[in-house]
Structure 1
Amino acid sequence: MNDSLTNNLLLQNMLFTGKVSTDFGNLISVQMTPVYESLGIIIPVKSSSIMAMIKKHKIISLADLSKALHQSHQLVNQKLPKLHQLNLITKESDPNDKRCKVFSLTEQGEKQVQLLTEQSEKIRELFCGLSTELGVDIHALLESAIDALNNESLLTRFEKL
């Protein structure tokens, strides 16, 4: 089987929905990076929600950050060293529990989140334009898909077949 036929089957096959959704997320990240750079934003695209959540809470533990973002502890923890290296966040021991680390924004981190906030309407318009082009509210569709799977897992759905 030639490579283009194999690739076409992979892209059209519902078995690979997870791969396609990951590819979509990665493509957004890759294409948003130069947008961020043009705006002077150094926050890694896939860490924007982490920065926003730290801003919202001022000081937050890894466990609380993971819970607030509905992401695994490991996934969030992978992204924090880069944010620290960029001098966007601080990492300190929790005064109430020295074993627990808490995170907050540095002055640079505050400025970066402010820049992102100032540009949020333009970024929203960017994705609204894509949604209009595709004839579907991409964000709403993704949220609905997540909600549907949270309400009834793929295993439960599979067992009903």
Structure 2
Amino acid sequence: MPEPVEEQAGWGVRGISPFSEETRAPFDIRLREPYTQLIAQFNAYMVDNMKATNFRDEHALKGAFVSNKLLRLVDLIADQGDDLLREAEITVPARAVACTLFIGEKDQVSLADIAKALDEPHQLSAQRVEGLIRLGLLERRDDPKDRRRKVLRLTKNGKVQYQRLCVRLAEIEQAFNDLYAEIDHDLSAILDGAIDALRRTPLLERIRKHATKAEASDKNQKAR
């Protein structure tokens, strides 16, 4: 079940799912435990029943379903990313990895700083921050330069997690480099190129250009 593409977080491009920590947070604490159990069962079912290929992959028009394949890659990387965090005893949620990294590098930042740096909605950044505060990894303080402004800093435990995270991210980067060597393609560079190309020329414009060329070619054939 693909998630809406809305953010660059954790291990890939992922949006807020109805099963995400961000969406669960507002629920009453009395409802959260059975809800969490339901999510765990759902995730286990998806892992057990997810096929390597599906109808789209075997269809004659499979080339039109690139987005579905990318979402499945995102889900696969995200699932493996969760294992990577647990194995390294990192309690930072996968979706808050980039947020934690940014705060750790800047020492103290505002919520607006985080939203701008991660290029995401203010509300989404706020949800990540509140989650890190609940975990005891982040604290909110008055800005000594401006009492009207709040700043965010990692706690002592948060700094420990930040150091572990830096080590693990370096290992993950190397693992991806090994993957690129194995498949003989720099996937990150390819994705950057595809994103830039689609921003320059959207799919609809490409379809229209193709139709115009086909129409011109058909007229030339008839003229002969």
User: Fold conserved (TM > 0.5)?
Assistant: yes
> What is the alpha-carbon distance in structure 2 between the residues aligned to residue 68 and residue 89 of structure 1?
18
Deviations 1:49-94 (CA, angstroms, capped at 9, x unpaired): 1111111211111221111112222332232222111111112344
| Partner in structure 2 of residue 142 of structure 1 | 191
1:115 aligns to what? 164
- The offset of 1:143, in angstroms, is 3.1
After TM superposition, list the pairs within 5 Å mapping 1:5-84 onto structure 2.
5=55, 8=58, 12-14=62-64, 17=67, 19-84=68-133
Query: Equivalent residue of 1:103, what SS?
Result: strand
Aligned to 1:154: 202
Q: Which structure's CA Rg is the greater one?
A: 2
**As a proportion of its length, which structure holds more helix?**
1
1:133-153 per-position Cα deviation (integer Å, ceiling 9, x unaligned): 332212222333344455x36
In the alignment, the residues of structure 2 paired with residue 72 and residue 153 of structure 1 have an alpha-carbon distance, to the nearest angstrom, of 25
Matched residue count: 154
Q: TM-score normalized by structure 2? A: 0.57
- Cα distance change on mapping 1:110 and 1:43 into 2, 3 Å: same
Identical-pair percentage? 29
Which segments of 5 or more consecutive residues in structure 2 lack a partner in the other structure?
1-53, 210-224
TM-score (norm 1): 0.76
Q: CA deviation at 1:156?
A: 8.4
Show structure 1 runs of 5+ residues with no match: none
Residue 160 of structure 1: how far off its partner (Å): 6.5
CA-based RMSD of the aligned residues comes to: 2.9
Using the TM superposition, give the Cα deviation of residue 101 of structure 1 relative to its aligned residue in structure 2, in angstroms: 3.7
Q: CA contact under 8 A between 2:56 and 2:65: conserved in structure 1?
A: no
| TM-fit CA distance, 1:158 | 5.6
